[in-house]
Structure 1
Amino acid sequence: MNNPLSILQQVFGYERFRGPQAEIVGHVIAGGDALVLMPTGGGKSLCYQIPAIARQRAGQGVTLVVSPLIALMHDQVGALHEAGVEAAFLNSALSYEEAVAVERRLARGELTLLYAAPERVTTPRFLEQLDALHRRGQLALFAIDEAHCVSQWGHDFRPEYRALTVLHERFAGVPRVALTATADALTRADIVERLQLQQARQFVSSFDRPNIRYRIAEKKEPAAQLLRFIQHEHEGDCGIVYCQTRKRVEETAQSLSAHGVPALPYHAGLDAELRQHHQDRFLREEGLVMVATIAFGMGIDKPDVRFVAHLDMPKNIEGYYQETGRAGRDGLPAQAWMLYGLQDVVNQRRMIDESPAGEEFKQVMRGKLDALLALAEATDCRRERLLGYFGERSQPCGNCDNCLAPPQLWDGTDAARKLLSTVYRVQQMSGIGFGAGHVMDILRGRKTEKVAQFGHEQVSTFGLGAEFSEAQLRGVLRQLVALGALAVDAQAYNTLRLTDGSRAVLRGEQPVRLRESVAQASGGRKRREARGSSALPAAAAGLTEAGQARFAALKAWRGEVARSHNLPAYVIFHDATLAAIAALGPSSVEELEGISGIGARKLEAYGQEVLRVVASS
């Protein structure tokens, strides 16, 4: 009963380990340090939960899990309780009396896992409690979740994570496992250095999420494009929409709601209680769309998120990968959909340039932004590019927009040279810089009021680009900014100016090849049939009519249980488990035993009720 596979089967109800889980679990149980990189939905938590159970059963005490989010602690502890594991958390959500009760249980050795935030872990009082456990040989393991937060190169840097080096310095004999879903080589090296994991074994899983379809389109009318995407392809589905600003979050949530899409806003400017209420609703209800800034998402374990949309370009590929990874955790088809435009590039570069950080940091951040822009502008397989960024080689996936509908390319070198010439000539003529719209108007020969005001119809390039559409020229401008051949001066009303990199393009030494502009971000797909709120999830799509009736009844029963336990429904049973029960139509507890996701404790707690629901449906 104490070997890892038995714990997996008896406690968690899974028949076998996935990928490198078995090797990681065995290494950590044996007392080895580990750095684990595993994509969202890959089963990272089992890599420390099973060692925690095994080491506790062997008399080695409690496992401390360092976790950055209160909501994540609550749901993970709730899920462990459902599986029959003694776990607790210490955070600001507890009253003084509740916190003292947890500390007493900790001192008595009654806990297998204790979750706490890094700010609490590094306080003198908490470290003294750990000292007491360590002296008694009752400190089994340290698990540092979301470990990328320790790195200044990571996308969710939290300075308080840096203080976790005290765990190694003060409790050198206690094994440590650091886990994250997202870290490029630079971030990975920083994690190792900051957490002193130089001797730790590194386990790097594939970053590939084959069930996610990646799609990136030019931003034209973002609100209308998003609405089309949801209505045509994800009506009734749960999803997340990321926006860069609080204002856009509010406007987008209101717009979706006004068009019949149930949507909630989430950003740091909302009252904490309202934010928590919205997050709880998202986790517990079906078919909701959360519109949020990046303040939302870390630790969101909801398995049935069918799409993640970005209305603004993120800062880097790590952030993009982490955020899109919240789709399709159940392994069923999901989409990562992003809009981007020239203004996104301008905004992100301005934030880097105006930050108080040192020049070395800014250079790294510019490089990361350039990598994301290259992914957006790519004409080859998105997945190949994405995985290549993390050092993983792959083949064309056949499941991204570029693979499914290869884009038409055009040579934008001539347009690029004419644009740069226009920027140069209007500045020479007027002594000041001008924005992208005005420069494009001149090149296309448009006699606007502003062109007339400054006499720019006299510029030698006036009308020389009449054959280019505005969309084409905007694509060229994005590419020039990405190449560093053109700069946008944020201090002077986003005016354009030449750089040292302009020369190579002007001389024809630097070709500029671009994808044809695609205005239809939804891909022109036929609108699917509208689904009611009672529609069956993808997990139940293959069931017979009788099986679907059983599934619907099981889902309703699960909802009642989840509400009574104040937990998300998926913590009780995943949709896949309900679908397996519905397909089998069991009539005895013995038949339930082999179904994935039903451990011994859940079988005891819910077995008879499940059989009753199946029999009556």
Structure 2
Amino acid sequence: ILFVAPEQLDDIDRFRFLLSLPVSLIVIDEAHCISTWGHDFRPSYRQIVQLIQKLEQINPDLKVLGLTATANHKTELDIKQQLTTTKAVQVQRATMDRPNIELTTLHVCGLAEKLALIAKYVADLAGDGLIYCATRENTEIVAEFCQKKNIRTIAYHAGIEAEQKRKLQTNFIKGEYKVIAATNALGMGIDKPDLRFIIHFDFPGSITAYYQEIGRVGRDGLAAKAVLLFDEQDIKIQQHFINSAQPQIE
């Protein structure tokens, strides 16, 4: 088994050795990233198509499996178009319903009320959980607040060195912390089947992102909770992200 990050395929000549091997299956995880309609498009995923085309010339029976939990119909069609080379793509879609996750939305006003609810919920909820924040600053605020409440908590965001982030994830999965307060830098890398709760300290950027993030809990099939703290002022944060992503007119 060879695991490859799509970004490594930007230098596809590095993988020319695969042409001399009996590769029978390529698995594309988070396949929605191959689509410009996907919520997390990554251009390097398009290099996978080139690799598939080269390998199919050697092995016409090559199988390709794409996996995603967050592709809407338009994204699905685009994935099919991207991955259709010499063979048609078959789609098997399961339900997106996760009946073991209890969803709760609480209307709040201001940082103090959010932190008070964090203290209440984390103390009452069993097991370990994630608190998603929209900014690095908020992860640090939440982590420091929880630590003062004697809750084993760490902050996780893109400003932390890669090696330290790996250690934090490993220690969290081992159960050394009850809570990890994170931005979406935690992304798709966390897989802890016994996570019992997710709290959104700030509301996420889209419904798709929300579904992706609450999908971290209850993967063992047991009861789990997802709590969204909704403050109308948080709209300004998401609007800032949208504006920052747009090119400036000169």
Matches within 5 A, 1:208-287: 208-220=97-109, 221-234=113-126, 237-285=127-175
Matched letter for residue 226 of structure 1: I
**For the Cα contact (< 8 Å) 1:168–1:196, is it kept in 2?**
no
From the superposition, tell whether residues 228 and 147 of structure 1 become closer, same or farther in structure 2 (CA, over 3 Å).
Answer: same
Alignment-derived partner of residue 306 in structure 1: 196
Matches within 5 A, 1:45-124: 113-124=1-12
Matches within 5 A, 1:212-611: 212-220=101-109, 221-234=113-126, 237-285=127-175, 288-356=178-246
Matched letter for residue 100 of structure 2: N
C-alpha displacement at 1:305, in angstroms?
A: 0.3
Name the SS for the 2:116 alignment partner: helix
C-alpha deviations, 1:40-64, integer Å up to 9, x for none? xxxxxxxxxxxxxxxxxxxxxxxxx
Structure having the higher helix fraction is 1
Give ranges in structure 2 of 5+ residues lacking alignment.
Answer: none
CA distance in 1, matches of 2:95, 2:106: 26
Name the SS for the 2:2 alignment partner: strand
TM-score, normalised to structure 1's length? 0.37
Which one of 60, 63, 68 corresponds to residue 180 of structure 1?
68
C-alpha displacement at 1:183, in angstroms?
A: 1.2
- Give identity over the alignment, percent: 38
C-alpha displacement at 1:265, in angstroms?
A: 0.6
Matched letter for residue 230 of structure 1: V
Name the SS for the 2:98 alignment partner: coil
Give ranges in structure 1 of 5+ residues lacking alignment.
Answer: 1-112, 359-617
From the superposition, tell whether residues 270 and 302 of structure 1 become closer, same or farther in structure 2 (CA, over 3 Å).
Answer: same
* Pair 1:191-2:75 in alignment: no
Alignment-derived partner of residue 63 in structure 1: none
Which one of 33, 39, 49 corresponds to residue 165 of structure 1?
49
CA distance in 2, matches of 1:125, 1:166: 11
**For the Cα contact (< 8 Å) 2:133–2:201, is it kept in 1?**
yes
C-alpha displacement at 1:320, in angstroms?
A: 0.6
Matched letter for residue 210 of structure 2: Y
C-alpha displacement at 1:203, in angstroms?
A: 0.4
C-alpha displacement at 1:353, in angstroms?
A: 4.1
**For the Cα contact (< 8 Å) 1:304–1:328, is it kept in 2?**
yes
Which one of 9, 17, 36 corresponds to residue 152 of structure 1?
36
Matched letter for residue 289 of structure 1: V
Name the SS for the 1:308 alignment partner: strand
**For the Cα contact (< 8 Å) 1:219–1:340, is it kept in 2?**
yes
Structure ID, larger Rg: 1
Report the number of matched residues. Answer: 240
From the superposition, tell whether residues 268 and 353 of structure 1 become closer, same or farther in structure 2 (CA, over 3 Å).
Answer: closer
CA distance in 1, matches of 2:149, 2:138: 16
Matched letter for residue 152 of structure 1: T
C-alpha displacement at 1:354, in angstroms?
A: 4.6
CA distance in 1, matches of 2:5, 2:155: 25
**For the Cα contact (< 8 Å) 2:154–2:177, is it kept in 1?**
no
**For the Cα contact (< 8 Å) 2:157–2:185, is it kept in 1?**
yes
Matched letter for residue 343 of structure 1: Q
**For the Cα contact (< 8 Å) 2:153–2:178, is it kept in 1?**
yes
TM-score, normalised to structure 2's length? 0.89
CA distance in 1, matches of 2:83, 2:54: 13
CA distance in 1, matches of 2:177, 2:221: 18
Name the SS for the 1:304 alignment partner: coil
**For the Cα contact (< 8 Å) 1:162–1:195, is it kept in 2?**
no
Name the SS for the 2:227 alignment partner: strand
CA distance in 2, matches of 1:194, 1:302: 31
Name the SS for the 2:170 alignment partner: helix
C-alpha displacement at 1:351, in angstroms?
A: 2.8
Matched letter for residue 183 of structure 1: A
CA distance in 2, matches of 1:159, 1:223: 38
C-alpha deviations, 1:7-65, integer Å up to 9, x for none? xxxxxxxxxxxxxxxxxxxxxxxxxxxxxxxxxxxxxxxxxxxxxxxxxxxxxxxxxxx
C-alpha displacement at 1:150, in angstroms?
A: 1.6
Name the SS for the 1:327 alignment partner: coil
**For the Cα contact (< 8 Å) 1:122–1:166, is it kept in 2?**
no
Which one of 26, 29, 37 corresponds to residue 142 of structure 1?
26
CA distance in 1, matches of 2:12, 2:124: 55
C-alpha displacement at 1:280, in angstroms?
A: 1.0
C-alpha deviations, 1:189-244, integer Å up to 9, x for none? 2222333378110000011111100111112311111111111233xx21000000
CA distance in 1, matches of 2:188, 2:245: 24
C-alpha displacement at 1:286, in angstroms?
A: 5.2
